[in-house]
Amino acid sequence: MPKSITLTALDIGTSSIKGVCARKNLVSGEIEILAKSQMPCFGVRNGEVIKPQDVSKTISEVKEDLIQKSGIKIKEVLVNISGPHLFSVSSQGVVSVSRADQKISREDIQRVLKQAEAVNLPSNKEVLEVFPKEFIIDGEGGIKDPLGLEGMRLEAKVLLCCLFSPILENLEKAVVEGGFQILEVIPSPLASSRACLTPQQKELGVLLVDIGAGTCSISVFEKGDLIDFAVFPAGSANITNDIAICLRTEISTAERIKKEFATLK
């Protein structure tokens, strides 16, 4: 068994594409940053890839920069997806426990989650990820892990992360043409929460706001679970544009003013 693994991640944003290559120690859990890169991007609007060819060129540049800095051959990548096309749907599934001894198996859990995922969506929309909120056994709720527990009826309450399929296709096309194989596509609100929030904060209840250049996402956690999220088509670039208009100055000057002199109270 290897003692460490190497992971590469891409953050495809409205104003830039960022990449990081890291080595994770599987024993201690420590992460060592091997290389990082950032390139301006002009094929993304409000977090959505609208010009895959332009984005793929930038991704290729980021990849070559990471390879040069890390000295490692990079093939697979974790990539985020954002934009106002992301939306949540609450759903519920129910199945009968299959084993004769009435102990809940992994197959039962997979079946109930699959049933909860089976919601009616338009043909151009799909489910990206399923977030279990709680499991219910024979009417008793509040169960986080039902594996091995006894019961006849298993229910699951979940939050579905759904999206507009053409936007996902554009993202996948850009990443593949940029020279990467996609290991996993992660919703940006979830990626932000993993980076910023502690388990204690998620358990107590917290709202996370992530302001990017073209989007603003919020995610709500309670009792350790993702309760809801939303992505809005407005971000810090709107503030920069407003400063430029009000002060009648260039965008670059407005961006510098925003970063150096603005305060949030």
CATH assignment at residue 117? 3.30.1490.110
Overall number of domains in the chain: 1
pLDDT in tens, 182-228: 999 999 999 999 889 999 999 999 999 999 888 999 999 999 999 99
Q: What is the largest CA-CA distance in the chain?
A: 75
The enclosing H or E element of 108 equals helix 106-117
CA–CA distance, 146 with 150 (Å, rounded to integer): 8
pLDDT band with cut points at 50, 70 and 90 for residue 261: confident
C-alpha–C-alpha distance, residues 123 and 256, integer Å: 44
Paired with 210 in beta bridges are 217
Q: Write the DSSP symbol of residue 2.
A: -
Q: Is residue 122 part of a domain?
A: yes
Residue 183 lies inside a defined structural domain of this protein: no
Name the residue range of residue 134's domain.
Answer: 87-163
Task: Note the pLDDT tens digit of each residue in 41-100.
Answer: 889 998 899 999 999 999 999 999 999 999 999 999 999 999 999 999 999 999 999 999
| pTM score, whole prediction | 0.84
Structure tokens at 71: 């000295």
Q: Is 195 among the domain residues? A: no
